[in-house]
Amino acid sequence: MNPALNFIFSRRSVRKYQKNRDIPREMITDMLQAAMAAPSAVAKDPWHFLVIREQETLNKVADVLPHGQMLRHAGAAFIVCGEISRAHDQLESYMLQDLSAAVENILLAATALGLGSCWLGMHPRKERMEDIRKLFSLPDGIIPMCGIALGWPAEQPPPRTRYRDECVHNDKW
């Protein structure tokens, strides 16, 4: 693995966080700035980000996400949402691509800042999306795509890649 790309190889899903360690607001802003530096189809930027820092609210999100139990010990979380009317041609596929690019930027920024993170799926699970919609009183046209748990890592998975030669096709299939 190329050491210049270690910030990418070190980005791993972290599910255990140090308890009672706050994430400074400046770091939250840094990650959101990184998110909004992502590419977006026709620069439509259809994203919205709910920032969750209150433990009671983190617990409520954990209640509706079966794989989000680490939120109970997280320092913060984002709920990444899309505004379908702002997506290129108002197409869900473009919106999801834009949001995914923003999410990856958040995950890489968190790693660069020394934080652990974990992407928590919501879309396309209707029940999860509806529970989040109700919990946060999301307006019509706002679609919750995923959550991101954030915290100071209590575990440090080693850097890795899942590169496989058989997935690379040069000039033809």
Q: Which residues is 117 bridged to in the sheet?
A: 13, 150
Give me the residue spans of the domains in the chain.
14-154
- Give the number of C-alpha atoms closer than 13 A to the C-alpha of residue 49, restricted to the C-beta side: 21
Superfamily of domain 14-154: NADH Oxidase (3.40.109.10)
Task: At 18, list the tokens.
Answer: 């140090």
Task: At 61, list the tokens.
Answer: 């999100």
Average pLDDT of the chain, as a whole number: 97
Interior CA angle at 83 toward 77 and 87, to 5°?
125
Give the DSSP letter of residue 2.
-
pLDDT tens for each residue of 115-138: 999 999 999 999 999 999 999 999
Interior CA angle at 102 toward 52 and 131, to 5°?
45
pLDDT tens for each residue of 31-90: 999 999 999 999 999 999 999 999 999 999 999 999 999 999 999 999 999 999 999 999
pLDDT tens for each residue of 17-27: 998 899 999 99
pTM summary value: 0.96
Give Cα separations from 138 to 9, 124, 160 (angstroms).
35, 16, 37
